Structure 1
């Protein structure tokens, strides 16, 4: 198997797929908290302007931006920081082990979004489309 070809041909596409899938799942947390879909269960919706409600707003907005790949780096940075705060405030005090305190998803989100912040959105994104268009327009005006 030619791993160099995998890296050069498919890694950018897989970056876009990672961004889209993680953004969709992150977005679902926001829709559950703020829109009640899927139904939040026994906890119910968070009180407006509470920490949970603010997290839901970030999940909804940043999740949407990450999925479509618009303003991806700032959205991913904010989402990553939100998940770091969520882990240390909500999960870590319960137990030092992520598998026991329920914080393993928060840790994964934190580092996936931090990776996306550094790696960029990938080729299947509005940001990439805008960059290609900007480059095309600048070449046309020369």
Structure 2
């Protein structure tokens, strides 16, 4: 038998903060896609769309938009979490195993934030929540 403690104080705001975490993470993540696809923010390198980096940019942009809106959040977060795990082991870890030395700390952080969103859901401020209420 499980008992739930009443949520009071800051804990009462946890569902909304989950939405804030999702929205802010998606906005920043989406910028990686806009940089690869549209050279915004400005960058010296813009990979071809048919390349691995170009496809990654497409997934970052579309997945970021969907996560920002909270649309199909759990499956999108699962895919993005896996993408970040692959990105770390494929592009960062071969150079050096330590994330602070190989530039992969953001990939690891995104991987686990998205994994958390996959498990916890999008929070109340999402299209998924609106569709669930109808």
- Shorter-chain TM range is over 0.9
Partner of 1:39: 42
The TM-score normalised by the length of structure 1 is 0.87
Partner of 1:140: none
Q: How many aligned positions are there?
A: 128
Describe the SS at the equivalent of 2:42.
coil
Deviations 1:77-107 (A, max 9, x none): 1111110110001000000100000000000
CA RMSD of aligned residues (A): 1.1
Comparing both structures, which one devotes a greater share of its residues to helix? 1
Unaligned runs of 5+ in 1: 134-142
Partner of 1:60: 61
Deviation at 1:66, TM superposition (A): 0.4
Describe the SS at the equivalent of 1:112.
helix
Partner of 1:15: 18
Distance 2:23 2:13 in 1: 15
Counterparts of residues 91-102 of structure 1 (less than 5 Å):
91-102=92-103
Contact 2:81 2:112 in 1 (8 A): yes
Bigger radius of gyration among the two: 1
Unaligned runs of 5+ in 2: 1-5
Distance 1:22 1:118 in 2: 16
The TM-score normalised by the length of structure 2 is 0.92
Deviation at 1:48, TM superposition (A): 2.4
